[in-house]
Amino acid sequence: MLQIGSAALFKIIELSQRLIQVSTFREQGLPTLADITNQKCQLAALSRSLVVHVDHMRNLVKGETEPFAAQDELQPHPVPGMKNPSSALSFRSEETAVFVEPDGSQRCVELPGEFSDAPGSIAHHAFPWTKSRHDVYVNVNYADKVSADGKSVMTSPFALGEEHNDFRAAVADFAARDLAPHVERWNAAHEAPLEAIKLMADLGLFGLGGPEEYGGAGDFTSLCIAIEEIGKVDQSLGITLEAAVGLGINPIAHFGTAEQKARWLPDLCAGRALAAFGLTEPEAGSDAGATRTRAVRRDRKWVINGSKQFITNSGTDITLLCTVTARTGTRDNGKPEISAIIVPLGTPGFEVGPSYAKLGWHASDTHPLTFTDVRVPEDHLLGERGYGYQQFLSILDDGRVAIAALALGCIRACLDLATQYAMQRTAFGVPIGRKQGVAFQIADLDVMAAAAHQLVYAAAAMRDHGGRAEEFKRAAAIAKLYATESAVSAARIATQVFGGYGFMEEYPVARFYRDAKALEIGEGTSEVQRLLIARGLGLPVE
Ligand SMILES: Cc1cc2nc3c(=O)[nH]c(=O)nc-3n(C[C@H](O)[C@H](O)[C@H](O)COP(=O)(O)OP(=O)(O)OC[C@H]3O[C@@H](n4cnc5c(N)ncnc54)[C@H](O)[C@@H]3O)c2cc1C
């Protein structure tokens, strides 16, 4: 079994996450520069040499370089003409730079020395060989790739770099080797397999995106990659990971006190334990503000009464706690005050009901929960009193991108399965893939996978690099809506390609068909996503 500590893996990744943008600056060019400096860094594939794209129309030059020197390495040769060495970015001594002019012509230059490393700041340096002969500014940003033949290949801001691609390959390899051979057995058992959770934990997957001081490592994009790759093998395992991090760890990591984090996060990030989040109730799902569960403060304790339903990871042998939303009062305007409270499993009065008999996600853990005079210390309040609902809504934005990544895994699985089968299966003397009626539908799956990938990783990059909250909310809703509805279509198409075999349990495509539907429901239904998107457009939709 492959064992990679996520911290170790991401140390390597972080060291190589350095990109630069070089912009020319004229006296009138300040607004352009301001625009550029507002953008946040996004890693892109690292090329062998610095590549600088000169755009005279916009006074813009973009660049990227191979991994920079670590901060503790010597930087002996300051770049001539650099005015503010302490605030510039680094690139290696004697770097070869390729300057690509707008007409496609290129020139290579040697860049002696290194800039120091201070992301977000600006240095400038005269590069007299550019046609515009203006000062060149260096700042953190994403960059363009240059292909092996030197041609410019525009990449989007979220282009995944070698580090993310290597990470993806490691997770895909692990999933194919250690999980795939067992997923049918695990699904047939109708419970979350602790042996699979342990394998994912050993790989460091539960710490992805979590705080480093508690064993977390990597970024949100890595978490999405892991969920996608695990979900490509089995959706149940994918949702187990997604819920463990998105619903279990994230609320505590974002809103917990130092004591709460220190108490709960080490075990959760290590995957030794799972946490759940109970928002949904029998009478409150999409309308989560209609929560009926109540918590009253008495004798320095919260006394909780109520019930939750459909709660993922709430009843495994390693479930540690469930964070629940509860009414803790009534506001002046008559609306309920809703707070979030951490309830450890095993607290008297906290009952986990039997597993649901679900249509799909058979190897994931889902239970109803009841709370009868459950008493927890008052310091189990998560975040500020009265902000439980808002906190959860912000957590859900991340969750929607993560569910979209899970859906992308489903689409890719359907694409692979359908493609392979269409090449092998013959009808009327030829492989069914020769029939346009089959081949064109599989082509559509490829389009879905490509489009969902763009939406998922654009949103993930926004999350990692500080996109504006309302833009991220919109991007998350769009990604979730498109990817999950596409996953349902993809599963239907792939099952159809398999004909009668597609209806048989022994074919994985049948499992994906069953599993896909939940994607359109969990963490906000498709209708709720459309509502959010429409509201974002300013429509007065209810
Ligand atoms: C397998 C599984 C795991 C889950 N895990 C968790 C978990 O860990 N924690 C948790 O808290 N919840 C969990 N859920 C619950 C899930 O988030 C809810 O089921 C979901 O939010 C929908 O709520 P509901 O089921 O009450 O449906 P309802 O809200 O009753 O919706 C019923 C239908 O009405 C539509 N609808 C509702 N309001 C509107 C509107 N304003 N406009 C248009 N259409 C509308 C919905 O889109 C839906 O089609 C899970 C659900 C499933 C199936």
Atom of ligand 1 nearest to the CA of 276: 8
From first CA to last CA, the distance across the chain in angstroms is: 51
The residues with which 323 forms a beta bridge, in sequence order, are 277, 342
Give the closest residue (by CA) to ligand 1 atom 6: 311
pLDDT in the model for residue 414: 98
Alpha-carbon span 371 to 327, nearest angstrom: 13
Residue 2, φ and ψ in degrees, nearest 5: -75, 130
The SS3 call for residue 96 is: strand
Atom of ligand 1 nearest to the CA of 523: 17
Average pLDDT over the chain reads: 79
Burial tier of 239 (Cβ tally within 10 Å: 0-12, 13-18, 19+) = buried
pLDDT exceeds 60 at position 107: no
- Best residue among 310, 362, 539 to mutate for probing ligand 1's pocket (most ligand atoms within 8 Å of CB) is 310
Catalytic residues: 523
Specify the residue with its C-alpha closest to ligand 1, atom 26: 285
Which is more confidently placed, 159 or 120? 159
Separation between Cα atoms, residue 278 and residue 195, nearest integer Å: 25
| Class level of CATH domain 396-536 | mainly alpha
Mutate to test the pocket of ligand 1, among 525, 535, 539 (most ligand atoms within 8 A of CB): 525
Atom of ligand 1 nearest to the CA of 526: 47
> Per residue in 40-99, pLDDT tens?
222 222 233 445 544 433 333 333 333 333 333 443 333 332 222 222 233 333 344 455
Give the confidence band of 140 by pLDDT, cuts at 50, 70, 90: very low
Query: Residue 305 C-alpha to ligand 1 middle, in angstroms?
Result: 22
CA 35 to ligand 1 centroid distance, Å: 40
Give 135's strand partners: 25, 126
- Give the number of residues written for the chain: 542
Pocket test for ligand 1, best of 242, 250, 279, 286 (most atoms within 8 A of CB): 286
Nearest to 224 by CA among 7, 66, 71, 400: 400
| Domain covering 277-388, topology | Butyryl-CoA Dehydrogenase, subunit A; domain 2 (2.40.110)
Q: What pLDDT does residue 155 have?
A: 40
399-444 residue pLDDT tens: 999 999 999 999 999 999 999 999 999 999 999 999 999 999 999 9
Residue 355 DSSP class: P
143-157, 160-174, 189-203: least confident range: 143-157
Q: Is 19 within 8 Å of 74 (Cβ atoms)?
A: no
pLDDT (0 to 100) of residue 103: 53
Q: Quick one: pLDDT band at residue 105, thresholds 50, 70, 90?
A: low
Query: 346: pLDDT confidence band, cut at 50, 70 and 90?
Result: very high
Ligand 1: which atom is nearest the Cα of residue 308?
11
Domain ranges within the chain, ordered by starting residue: 17-155, 277-388, 396-536
Using alpha carbons, select from 453, 459, 454 the residue that is nearest to residue 476. Answer: 459
Distance CA 209, CA 217 (A): 6
What distance in angstroms lies between residue 535's CA and the mean position of ligand 1's atoms? Answer: 19
**Strand duo 145-146 + 135-139: pairing:** unpaired
The mean per-residue pLDDT over the stretch 180-185 comes to 98
Q: Are 229 and 175 in contact (CB under 8 A)?
A: yes
Q: Which residue puts its alpha carbon closest to atom 37 of ligand 1? A: 286
